[in-house]
């Protein structure tokens, strides 16, 4: 541990919650240098939907490297890229009636994709303002950070974060407030002070923002609002996409058609850096090289991403298993809630993007600490870090789910029990 404390910048973060040295990882497990096994309910913050070192993906990558496949090729045509483009179109876009989207490869992180999406929306519409939502998270480079809500991250910008109007997310004011109607009024009033936006950027489930869920109805109304006011609809599916909610895209059962979709995190399937923007064909108004980058399209990621699509998305079987496991986890969490805090704990999220909301961040942190001591890597999310967030690999086994839920049950019992005792004394 000394080396990290001595040499690595203080900006390091997740490692502070899990102060051990991990050496190996397989499926839904992380293994330390001294052989201790942990179940991984963090999974690279949603980057490891298919688990660590999935054997088929690993083999595809090993074969590619062994054959001296191109590793870096700027954005030149490579066999790996061709295969990915063809596979993504065949297995994802075409069956979903989305063959008219173009794929843009940006720099390899999520925030790169968001920057490109916002830049394109502004270029195409000639407008500069963008609507983003309370508790939304879109990345930490300046343009994406402007759209991000989190004060801790925003505060580090050191410069102005301009051209974003924040609006209340789906149920920000509870179920009774019509946030779409509110936005419509603001956008229809030339003196509201809200300039006509180029786009709205939205997550269907707010991953970092506390697993707040937008309903299909709200998303459909948002799409209508976009049409009415000439704004593009950008769905940031970086965390909720790639199967996390049960379907490949988090919005595909909602009956909407976003103008732009951002993907990253689990897109490579193997934890490799990789990001992509999907844009409706008529929006593809880029000049060659107008949005540039040395690492646009990672050939190793093209290989593993195509292998992941072929392995998991040829049939509906995987999607069905995600839904079933999501239900198993949600049921287990409901039991924990009933036992340890029926009035103070709440289930959040959808699909396999689930968490338990606690009365405050200290309680959630104490639960995560206790769980870690018992062999479960789990983190918090939310405005006050109050949600214990379970983002396990989608390939996790039922036995591992049950084991992890037992660890969580014990942790909630200890922390909520202590809480009750403190209140009584
Ligand atoms: C993680 C995330 C990003 C940013 O991705 P990075 O790779 O960390 O830059 C953007 N949007 C959403 C919804 C995310 O979850």
For the chain, the average pLDDT equals: 97
Query: What does the pLDDT read at residue 193?
Result: 96
CA 238 – ligand 1 centroid, Å: 6
Whether residue 28 is found in the same domain as residue 117: no
Whether residue 224 is found in the same domain as residue 371: no
Which strands sit side by side in the sheet containing 37-40, from one edge to the other?
Answer: 22-26, 29-32, 37-40, 376-377
Checking DSSP bridges between strand 205-206 and strand 29-32, what pairing results, if any? unpaired
Whether residue 248 is found in the same domain as residue 378: no
CATH number at residue 233: 3.40.640.10
How many domains in the chain?
A: 2
pLDDT tens profile 49-97? 999 999 999 999 999 999 999 999 999 999 999 999 999 999 999 999 9
Query: What does the pLDDT read at residue 422?
Result: 84
pLDDT tens profile 331-364? 999 999 999 999 999 999 999 999 999 999 999 9
CA 407 – ligand 1 centroid, Å: 28
> Which atom of ligand 1 lies at the shortest distance from residue 139's CA?
4
Determine the Cα–Cα distance for residues 370 and 380; give it in Å rounded to an integer.
13
Spatial contact of 120 and 279, defined as CB atoms under 8 Å apart: yes
> Which atom of ligand 1 lies at the shortest distance from residue 112's CA?
9
Domain endpoint, select from 253, 278, 312:
312
Residue 418 tokens, joined: 């202590």
Whether residue 231 is found in the same domain as residue 335: no
Cα 149 to Cα 158, 223, 232, 344, distances in angstroms = 16, 21, 20, 25
What sections of 67-190 are H helices per DSSP? 79-88, 110-125, 142-147, 151-154, 179-188
> Which atom of ligand 1 lies at the shortest distance from residue 207's CA?
15
Whether residue 212 is found in the same domain as residue 124: yes
The beta-strand segments (E) located in 232-314 are 232-236, 260-263, 276-280
Half-sphere exposure at residue 279, Cβ-oriented, CA atoms within 13 angstroms: 22
The beta-strand segments (E) located in 184-336 are 199-202, 205-206, 212-213, 232-236, 260-263, 276-280
CA 101 – ligand 1 centroid, Å: 21
CA 144 – ligand 1 centroid, Å: 9
Domain endpoint, select from 266, 288, 312:
312
Whether residue 350 is found in the same domain as residue 394: yes
Determine the Cα–Cα distance for residues 248 and 240; give it in Å rounded to an integer.
9
pLDDT tens profile 286-304? 999 999 999 999 999 999 9
pLDDT tens profile 208-245? 999 999 999 999 999 999 999 999 999 999 999 999 99
Whether residue 331 is found in the same domain as residue 189: no
Half-sphere exposure at residue 381, Cβ-oriented, CA atoms within 13 angstroms: 27
Whether residue 175 is found in the same domain as residue 223: yes
Nearest residue (by CA) to ligand 1, atom 10, is 138
Query: What does the pLDDT read at residue 391?
Result: 95
Nearest residue (by CA) to ligand 1, atom 6, is 110
Whether residue 39 is found in the same domain as residue 148: no
Domain endpoint, select from 292, 312, 332:
312
Question: Across residues 164-179, what is the average pLDDT?
Answer: 96
CATH number at residue 373: 3.90.1150.10
Whether residue 104 is found in the same domain as residue 29: no
Domain that holds residue 164: 57-312
Q: Ligand 1 — pocket residues by CB below 6 A?
A: 109-111, 114, 137-139, 203, 207-208, 236, 238-239, 264-265
> Which atom of ligand 1 lies at the shortest distance from residue 136's CA?
13
Whether residue 307 is found in the same domain as residue 346: no
Whether residue 34 is found in the same domain as residue 147: no
């Amino acid at each position: 541990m000394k080396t990290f404390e001595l040499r690595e910048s203080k900006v390091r973060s997740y490692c502070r919650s899990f102060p051990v040295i991990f050496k190996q990882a397989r499926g839904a497990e992380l293994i330390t240098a001294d052989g201790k096994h942990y179940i991984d309910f963090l999974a690279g913050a949603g980057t490891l939907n298919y688990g660590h070192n999935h054997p088929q993906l690993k083999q595809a990558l090993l074969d590619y490297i062994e054959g001296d496949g191109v590793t870096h090729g700027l954005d030149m045509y490579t066999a790996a890229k061709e295969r990915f483009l063809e596979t993504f179109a065949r297995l994802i876009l075409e069956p979903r009636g989305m063959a008219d989207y173009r794929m843009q490869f940006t720099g390899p992180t999520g925030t790169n994709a968001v920057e490109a999406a916002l830049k394109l929306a502004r270029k195409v519409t000639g407008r500069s303002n963008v609507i983003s939502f309370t508790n939304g998270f879109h990345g930490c480079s300046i343009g994406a950070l402007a759209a991000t809500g989190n004060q801790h991250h925003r505060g580090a910008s050191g410069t102005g974060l301009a051209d974003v109007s924040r609006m209340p997310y789906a149920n920000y004011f509870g179920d009774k407030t019509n946030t779409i109607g509110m936005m419509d009024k603001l956008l229809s009033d030339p003196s509201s002070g809200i300039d006509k936006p180029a786009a709205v950027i939205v997550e269907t489930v707010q991953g970092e923002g506390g697993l707040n869920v937008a309903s299909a109805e709200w998303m459909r109304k948002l799409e209508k609002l976009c049409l009415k006011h000439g704004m593009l609809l950008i769905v940031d599916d970086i965390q909720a996409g790639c199967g996390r909610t049960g379907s490949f895209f988090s919005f595909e059962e909602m009956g909407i058609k976003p103008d732009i979709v951002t993907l990253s995190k689990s897109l490579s399937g193997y934890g490799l850096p990789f990001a992509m923007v999907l844009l409706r064909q008529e929006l593809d108004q880029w000049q060659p090289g107008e949005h540039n980058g040395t690492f646009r399209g990672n050939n190793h990621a093209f290989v593993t991403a195509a292998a992941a699509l072929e392995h998991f998305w040829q049939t509906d079987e995987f999607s069905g298993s995600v839904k079933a496991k999501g239900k198993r986890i949600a049921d287990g969490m409901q039991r924990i809630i009933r036992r340890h805090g029926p009035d103070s704990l709440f289930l959040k999220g959808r699909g396999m993007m689930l968490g338990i909301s606690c009365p405050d961040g200290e309680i959630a942190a104490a639960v995560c600490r206790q769980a870690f001591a018992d062999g479960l890597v789990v983190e918090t999310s939310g405005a006050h870090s109050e949600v214990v967030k379970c983002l396990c690999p989608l390939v996790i086994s039922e036995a591992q789910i049950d084991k992890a839920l037992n660890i969580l049950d014990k942790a909630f019992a200890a922390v909520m029990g202590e809480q009750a005792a403190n209140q009584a004394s």
